[in-house]
Structure 1
Amino acid sequence: MGFSLQTLVVSALAITSHASPLIYSRTAHTCYTNSNGLAFNHFNSFLPKVTILATDRWRTIAGTNNDKTATAGYESDALGINSLLSEIPYFFNIANIAGKQRQQRRHLLFLLLSLTHKLRIEVCDDPTMSRAVITHGTDTLEESVFFIDATVNCGKPIGVTVAADNNSKDRRALVVLNDRIVSAFFATKTNAVQPNAKHVVDVSDVDAVPRVDILYAYADMQVDSIYSAVKNGVKGIVVAGEGAGGVSTGFASAINDIVAKHNIPVVLSHRTVNGEVPAADITGENAKTQIASGMFNPQKPRILLIVVG
C-alpha cells in the first residue's frame, strides 16, 4: 500500500465496525487520569476511553515537508502524538483519548512484545478502558499488525472511529488506512511511491557475468547474510528493502562498511510489488554508499549490476 503524506493521517491497528459511533460535542475540557497513569485532557464521561500508543515505527505519519504532496525526502518522526492529535480534533468528540509516546529505539520484535504487554495491562486488564490505537508507518506494518493480531485477543477493539463502535468487539486486529479496513491476516504493502524514470544500459562492452546477490529485508534483519555474500565472492548486492528501500540501522552500517572496504556496489530496492526507491530517501552517509533502485524491483537492478560488470 502506498500513500501520500497528506492522505496517510493515521495508520492504526484496528477492529472493524459497520455503524457510526455516537458523537458528543465538546463544550469544555475536563482532565482525568486513570489508575495506570493515562491522562485524558478532553474528558467526557459518556464516551469510551481510548489510549493511543505512538510507536517509533510511524515515521511517515509523523513526517513533515514544506511540500504537502511530497512522498520522499521528508523529515521523519518530526511530530509527537499530541501534535498529531491537535490536527484531528474530531477524535475528541467520539472518544476520550490518552496519547502516549513510545520512543524506544530497539528491535521491532522487542517493541511489539512490549506493546503486547502494555495492551494487556492498560487495556485488556483495565475494566475502565474500552479500546486502544497503535500508530504505525507502512514499511513493516504488515508484520506488526500480524504480531498484534496473534498475541492480543481480549475482545477489546484496537482503533479510534472504527473501535468507538460497540459492534467492533471481538473482530480481531485490522489495518485502517484512508477509510479502508483490511484484515491483519491478509495485509501486505504493495506499493512504495510512483515510478518516474526509465533507464537504458549499453551492453556492447560487457563480456563477463559477475555474481550479484539479492538479499530480502525483514524486521530486525541480521547482518550475517551480507557478510557471507562478500566472503563467497559477490560482486554486487541488491537489497529488497522494506517500504521504499528501508533497512535496519545495523544493516545500513554493514552496507557502509562493505562498500568502504570492498568497493562492492549495493542497490536498495523494494520488496513491495510496485513503486520505487527514490534517491531522496537515501541521505547522509548512506547517500555515499547506497544506490537507489528507482522504479526497478530487485530482479532488475541485479541484471543491471551484472551487465555493467
Structure 2
Amino acid sequence: MFEERSKSRPRVVVVGTGGTIASSATVSTDFHNYDVSDSIEQILAAVPEAAELADLCGVQAVNISSHRIDNSILLSLARRVSEALDDPGTDGVVITHGTDTLEETAYFLHLVLRTTKPVVVVGAMRPARSLSSDGALNFFNAVATATTQSSRGKGVLVVANGHIYGARDVMKRDTSSIDAIQGSKFGILGEVREHAAQFFHSPVQRHTASSEFEINRLQELPQVDILFDHQAAGTHLCRASVEAGSKAIVVAGMGNGSLSPGLRKGAALARDAGVIFIRASRSGQGIVAPLHSDAELGIITAGSLPPQKARILAMLGIAHAKDIEQLQRAFDSY
C-alpha cells in the first residue's frame, strides 16, 4: 500500500564512498574510461531536488572505485554508518557506492548494523555528466526511500532504476547495461513512486536489528578466499589458499555446488588443515542443497548466497568464533 512520507522534515546522512556515481569522463559518450572525480558535496549540489525531501548531511568516508574496497575499508565504513545511525537526530542513511562491489558492501552492512532505520545503498552505471547518466535520479530515489516510513525495519536496501532491492539478494548481473543491478529470482521488494517507496515484499532472513553480528566487536576480518571450479580443476589453488593463511575457502561450484575431483581433494586438504570449506554455485541463482558427502568432508553449504556474499557471511561467522555447525546454522538463517 502506498504510504505518505512523515510530515516532519527528516534528516538523512549521505555517506560517500566514490564509484561511477561520483565519476566523470572526458567524453560524454564514453561509459567505461573515467575516474572518480566528485565529492559527496558535489553530488548533493548536483541533485538539489533531493534536498526538498530531507535535510541532507554529507560525509565522505572514502572516494574510490568500489573494486578497490578491502576489509579494512568495509569495517571503517560500517563504523561510520553505525555512528550516524546512533545519532537520535538521524532518520536514515544513504550510501553512494560503486556498482562493482555494491552487493558485497550492502550485504556486509545488512549483517552488522543494529538498526531499524532505513539504510539505502545507491550507485550508477554511467558517470555523471555523460549522456543518459542515471546517477542523479538513482540518488533522488534513494533519498526518497530513506525518508519513507515503511522502509524502516527492512534492513539495508539498494535502489536502482526506480526499483528497491534487499541487500541479501541484489546482484550486478550485467557488465555495463543500465539495468545491471537486479534482484535475481527473488525479485524486487518495491518501487519508488510519487517521491516515496512503495513495498510489495519484505526480507525474512535475519538482518540488522535481529543480527547477532556486531561491528563493535570486530577489529579485523579473517582471510576468506573464493575459488572458481571447472572441468579438470586441480588442488593447487586450495593448497595455496591454505598455505597463505586463509581461514575459509568458498568454492563457486558447478550446478548445485558440485565439486570436480580436484576440488573434492581440495576440500579434504582444507578439512585436514582446519580450514572451513563452503560450497556455493557459479550458476548465478538457485539454492545449493546439502549432500550426504558434505559431512564426511566437513563442508558447509551456502544455500542461495552467491560466492561473493558467502564470503562476507563466512568472514563474520569466523570473526565471531563460530564452529562448523554454528556456521551452517548462520548460512541457513541469514
Could you state the TM-score of these two structures normalised by the residue count of structure 2? Answer: 0.44
Point out the structure with the larger helix share.
2
Larger fraction in strand: 2
Calculate the TM-score normalised by the size of structure 1. Answer: 0.47
Identify the structure with bigger relative contact order (alpha carbons < 8 Å, sequence gap 6+): 1
Say which one has the larger Rg. Answer: 1
